[in-house]
Every structure is written in C-alpha cells, then in structure tokens.
Structure 1
Amino acid sequence: MAVDVRWATIEDAAALAAILCEMAEHYRQPPLDADRTLSAARKWLGEESPAYPHFALAFVDGEVSGLASVAIAHPGIDLERLLFLKDLFVRDNIRNAGVGRALIGFLADHCLSHGIGRIDLTTEDWNKGALRFYDRLGAERHGQKVFLRLSGEALKAAKS
C-alpha cells in the first residue's frame, strides 16, 4: 500500500475538514459542525499562510487517511528549532497500515532537511496504542515536563 504524504494546501481544505471531524469523534468530543470546520480549514490553509505549513496530510488511493498538525518553535537554550507535533491522527479503518509511520517519516525528513533538531509531542497517558507506536519509533519519555494549559477564564485573566 502506497501512502502519499504532503503539506496541505488550500485545495486540501475539504479533506482536512473531513478528517478533523472524524478526529473529534474518535477522541469522544462533541461533533464538529461540517460547514464551520470547512470554513476554518480554508482559513488555516489560505489566508493565515504561516512561515511553515502546519498540516501534513496522508493519502491512500487518493483518500485522506491521516493528518499531522505541527508548529515550528524557534530556539530555546539549545539554539535548535523544534517541530511540535500537536496531533497525529490516522483514520480507524486504516490504522496499523503504515500511515502514522509515513507521517512521522515525512516530518522527520522535513526536520533533517531544514535544520530542525527534534520533534516534541504529547499524548494522553490512557492512549496505549499511541504510546506503543511512539515507543516503537524510539521516542524518549521525558517525565520532567508537566503539561499545562491556559484556556477559558484563565486565558482571559492572563491577558491583563
């Protein structure tokens, strides 16, 4: 099975929207409104135009099968940029068929060819399949970091 991975463009907005809706369902989130999701995908892939593309999409037989949502962060104390992998998602019907591995390989190649020193990521402690996948890739677990979030009222309070 051939997996084609590429950076998403505005032409991929419908594919991105479809897989984002499926990802929300997979993670037991409230269903996303399809029109709102498509509008957001068009905005993200069109007018925002980040310095680095931020969605890699995997296709099998022309059908979107997985996504990686990423951001590039600039130097910290080690003076190396890093790629932060926010989400890696593969559709249920094609999981364990190499799509996730193809997405990670695409990102690793991008890092190596652009002087980006590492990929950082998080996953839920209950997501045993993801933990096994990252273990097989040789990902190191860093227990010294604590994942924190500012949202809702805390985000509003932080602006002042």
Structure 2
Amino acid sequence: MAVDVRWATTEDAAALATILCEMAAHYRQAQLDHGRALAAARHWLTDESPAYPHFALAFAGGEVAGLASVAIAHPGIDLERLMFLKDLFVREGARNQGAGRALIAFLAGHCLSHGIGRIDLTTEDWNDGARRFYTQLGAERHGQKIFLRLSGEALKTVAKS
C-alpha cells in the first residue's frame, strides 16, 4: 500500500480528530467525543507555534492511517536538538502495511535535514507490538531514564509552591 506522510495543517483537523478518538480507545482511555476532539485539533493546528509542526499524518488510499505527535527540545546533552515522539499510532485496519514505518522515516528525514540529532520515545510496557516495531527499526532500550509524570493534584500543588 502506498503511504503518504505530511505535517498536519488546519485542513487536516477532521482526520486528526478521527485518529485521536481511535487512539484513546486503543490506549484504554475514556471514549473521546469526536466534536471535542475536532475542536481541540482545530485549536492545536491553528494556535500552536508554527516553528515546529506537532503532528505528522500518514494517509493510505485517501484515508488517514496513522499519526505521529512530536515535540522538538533544545538542546540535548551534546548541544544537538532532539525530537521527542510523544505518540505514534496507526489505525487498526492500516497496521502492518507500512504506515508506521513511513511515519518514522518521515520524522527521521526531518531530523536529518534540520540538524536534530536523535528521536527519543517511550512505549507502554504492555505494548508488545510497539516494542517489537521499534526494535526492528534499530531503537535501543535506554535504561538510564525513568519515566515520571506530574499531573492532577500534584501538578496543582507544585504550581502553588
């Protein structure tokens, strides 16, 4: 299957909303309302910093097949920027057909052409398919970091301190 990947634009808000809803279900989150997801997608694609697009979308057969959500951090330890891959998601009907690999290749090409030295990412410990996929691409498990999160009440408490 031919897969086309591009940075999402405001015209892609509906496609982004659709895939965000499917992604929430896959990651065992509460069902997202499509209208709410569409409003968020429109906001993110119009009001966020244009310096670095945040979403790459893969399309196959005219339909959205996958999503990569990224952020660029300045600088890395070696004074090179890094790309943090927050989420890579491929719709169930498009899995194992090249959409994930096409998204990663697109991101890697962007990194190489913009002086970004690496892509860092995480995956859930239960997601065997994702771990196999990243290992096949040559990603190495980096055991020096522990993933932590500030959210909810802890986030509110820290903000007040």
TM-score by length of 1: 0.98
Alignment partner, residue 108 of structure 1: 108
Aligned equivalents of 1:122, 1:111: Cα separation in 2: 18
CA RMSD of aligned residues (A): 0.8
Alignment partner, residue 63 of structure 1: 63
Aligned equivalents of 2:2, 2:102: Cα separation in 1: 9
By how many angstroms is 1:128 displaced? Answer: 0.5
What runs of 5+ residues in structure 1 fail to find an aligned partner?
A: none
By how many angstroms is 1:76 displaced? Answer: 3.0
Alignment partner, residue 94 of structure 1: 94
By how many angstroms is 1:47 displaced? Answer: 1.7
Correspondence 1:3 to 2:3: yes
Alignment partner, residue 149 of structure 2: 149
Alignment partner, residue 123 of structure 1: 123
TM-score by length of 2: 0.97
SS in 2 for 1:65: strand
Count of equivalent residues: 160
Aligned equivalents of 2:90, 2:65: Cα separation in 1: 6
Correspondence 1:79 to 2:100: no
Name segments (4+ residues, structure 1) moved above 6 Å: none
What runs of 5+ residues in structure 2 fail to find an aligned partner?
A: none
Aligned equivalents of 1:76, 1:28: Cα separation in 2: 32
Alignment partner, residue 158 of structure 2: 158
By how many angstroms is 1:50 displaced? Answer: 3.5
Aligned equivalents of 1:76, 1:30: Cα separation in 2: 34
SS in 2 for 1:46: helix
SS in 2 for 1:146: coil
Alignment partner, residue 16 of structure 2: 16
SS in 1 for 2:136: helix
